Structure 1
Amino acid sequence: MPENNFPKLHNATWPGIVGKGSDSEPVISFDTMLEKTAAAEVDGVKFDGVDLGLFDPHIDLDMSDDGIKRLVDKIGGLGLEIGSLVAPIWGGPAMGSKEERDTFVEMVRKSCVFGQKLREHGIRPHGIVRIDSASKPEAWALDPVANTKLIAETFRRACDVAADYGEKLAAEGEICWGGMHSWRTMIDTMEAVSRPNMGFQADMSHTFLYLLGYNRPEDRVLPVDFEWSDRAALDEALKTMTAALRPWTIDFHVAQNDGTVHGTGSHDKTGRHCLATDPNGKLDITHDAGYWLRDENGNITKAFGHICWDGCMFPNSVMESQQTWNDILAALIKVRKAHGWYQEA
């Protein structure tokens, strides 16, 4: 049997920006992120592509067609494809004023235009446009019903715009985004949006914090007296959460978490991304990825064409070490061997 070649293995470029700048460490350049990705190799296997954050200083969302062509040539020249994109919607909260919500939708539109152009160049065979509510959980909690309705209304408008460009939107499950800060609020939001091109982006680190009820204790899955040594209870909690969210999941990040929250720079505290080799990591990355990549009967879902490593807010010294990216690639390869498939070219 040939080796599994799907899902494709991607690295995220935005960890060079997220949590950097301001009172933190300097931003790591886009070229450095690309070079480290392209140079990673484990037993002859390399990364297949990158997922891009469409925001400064890495990417100018308003770049010309010639600029996009140069970007395509740069990434393609390194033997990489492009997958999912992150829309820079944080200047317009989804439950903000009319003007702010209009800004949100416009940022989604620009991101979808950008994504369509990449597909036309043949470098982006799969992937979504990622969004979030750009709103804080405590602001959402002031009026959960009205604010969920407002977020859903904004997301529906964004979905309608995305559909014009053949794009799907995925809402990021992260405890710092109001209306998607727990697994139940996430499902409520998805159901309220009710658009065929709207789905969920699971991140193994961020969604892991759903189990502990951070920012939403009433939605905690693990018992308050849970001990990390109780792997059976953790497995049951993961089964419960993934069974509820898997039907919505259209984009997936492989990651590690040590059960704590973390934030640097301007980024709010959220599920801490740990290195794939972190001895304090609470996840069995290969095994636990299967809860997202297989259905309740153990069948591989093939719900997305690539998986991506997302590891934000690591020290620059760690991110500038090539060994870091080789270790990450090795973790992704194990996930694909366990839960992937072979597909003829």
Structure 2
Amino acid sequence: MNNFPKLHNATWPGLVGKGPDSEPVIPFDSLLKMTAAAEVNGVKFDGIDVGLLEPHFDLNNPDEAKKLADKVSKYNLNVGSLVAPIWAGSAMGTADQRKTFVEMVRKSCEFGQKLKDLGVRHYGVVRIDSAAGVHDWSKDPVGNTKQIAETFREACDVAAGFGEKLAAEGEICWGAMHSWKHMVELLEMVDRPNIGFQADMSHTFLYTMGYNAPEHRILPADADLKNRETIKAALKTVTDALRPWTIDFHVAQNDGSVFGSGSHDKTGRHCQATDPNGLLDIAHDAGYWLRDENGQLTKAFQHICWDGCMFPNAVMEKQQTWNDILAAMVKVREAHGWKG
């Protein structure tokens, strides 16, 4: 049986799109319990990826990492990638906002180092985005991209001091990251060895459709989205461009539409793993990211994670949801895994 990549669940879907203007936040402990309880033919999740966001986490609490380590150890889980809460600042904002952005990256890397020292984190990256909207970015695309790149370079230098890599998530709601071509341009401009791309199968599928960047769309507006060959060709174009940068990977499903809830801007809709309207063949299409252009495994990351943001709480609080997710993850590993 393949035991790599390790299979992780994400805990930030309990936070993203939730809150006072939406549904209540799902407690971290509830998400952890359901993750640990999921099982498919004797296979369980190996770990979790976590968003270091309040109210799940308080990065100003020096005991927070130890509390997390104790919780995951109790369930025989590990921690992988971390989401830095950089939205208190902005990579494209004022000097103070950019300083705050870098400081939140520093705090996240420090937190990750503590988890390593506590023996519960052996792989994974720190995830960032520009924390800037597409509309604001479009007022000065050249100048704003340069400023974002400069902030990212500062963040990379800080992360390097902790031995961390930063992964920029390609999502259509983040300025300078909202199309596949803009994403490549930004990564090349940052020019640091410890930055890469975090691919999410739902968000990156929206890249092919040109949401927020119609000039970079790959699928024509009248494309038949039921035609798998059409979708496969579009996915190949995106993955050929971004796979060399990819250091973190989210398995997900998408139906070709955008969605936002709470205060989160619209981005690629995360569908349930069993959604009949999903346009992706999850196990097959994950291979575009996990294998190179010659079909060989890249082994570029030791774990993969499921991302399912902005599901209703009624869905997320059902144990069967997590069993279905794990089943999809297992199929990905069976198709593209390896023995470590």
TM-score by length of 1: 0.98
Q: Distance in 1 between matches of 2:91 and 2:136?
A: 12
- 1:229 corresponds to which residue? 226
Identity %: 71
Point out 4+ residue stretches in structure 1 off by more than 6 angstroms: none
Matches within 5 A, 1:72-111: 72-111=69-108
Q: CA deviation at 1:27?
A: 0.5
Q: CA deviation at 1:70?
A: 2.4
Q: CA deviation at 1:22?
A: 2.0
Aligned mate of 1:5, from 3, 6, 9: 3
Letter in 2 for 1:130: R
Q: Distance in 2 between matches of 1:305 and 1:252?
A: 10
Please say if 1:67 is aligned against 2:64.
yes
Matches within 5 A, 1:14-93: 14-64=12-62, 66-93=63-90
- 2:279 corresponds to which residue? 282
Aligned mate of 1:291, from 288, 291, 297: 288
Secondary structure of 2:116 counterpart: helix
- 1:129 corresponds to which residue? 126
Q: 218-227 or 330-339, which moves further after superposition?
A: 218-227
Please say if 1:215 is aligned against 2:212.
yes
Please say if 1:248 is aligned against 2:245.
yes
Q: Distance in 2 between matches of 1:51 and 1:137?
A: 27
Please say if 1:147 is aligned against 2:144.
yes
Please say if 1:262 is aligned against 2:259.
yes
Q: Is the 8 A contact 2:255 2:277 kept in 1?
A: yes
Q: CA deviation at 1:81?
A: 0.2
Secondary structure of 1:287 counterpart: helix
Gaps of 5+ in 1: none
Q: CA deviation at 1:258?
A: 0.4
- 2:333 corresponds to which residue? 336
Q: CA deviation at 1:67?
A: 3.5
Please say if 1:321 is aligned against 2:322.
no
Q: CA deviation at 1:121?
A: 1.0
Secondary structure of 1:250 counterpart: strand
- 1:170 corresponds to which residue? 167
Q: CA deviation at 1:227?
A: 0.8
Gaps of 5+ in 2: none
Q: CA deviation at 1:69?
A: 1.7
Q: Distance in 2 between matches of 1:70 and 1:188?
A: 39
Q: CA deviation at 1:57?
A: 0.5
Letter in 1 for 2:75: L
Secondary structure of 2:86 counterpart: coil
Give the total of aligned pairs: 340
Q: Distance in 1 between matches of 2:66 and 2:278?
A: 40
Q: Is the 8 A contact 2:11 2:28 kept in 1?
A: yes
CA RMSD of aligned residues (A): 0.6
Q: Distance in 2 between matches of 1:25 and 1:147?
A: 34
Q: Distance in 2 between matches of 1:67 and 1:160?
A: 25
TM-score by length of 2: 0.99
Q: CA deviation at 1:104?
A: 0.3
Letter in 2 for 1:58: H
Q: 224-233 or 262-271, which moves further after superposition?
A: 224-233
Task: Output one character per residue of 1:163-199: Cα deviation in whole Å (capped at 9) or x when no partner.
Answer: 0000000001000000000000000100000100000
Q: CA deviation at 1:61?
A: 1.1
Secondary structure of 1:130 counterpart: strand
Q: Distance in 2 between matches of 1:260 and 1:268?
A: 13
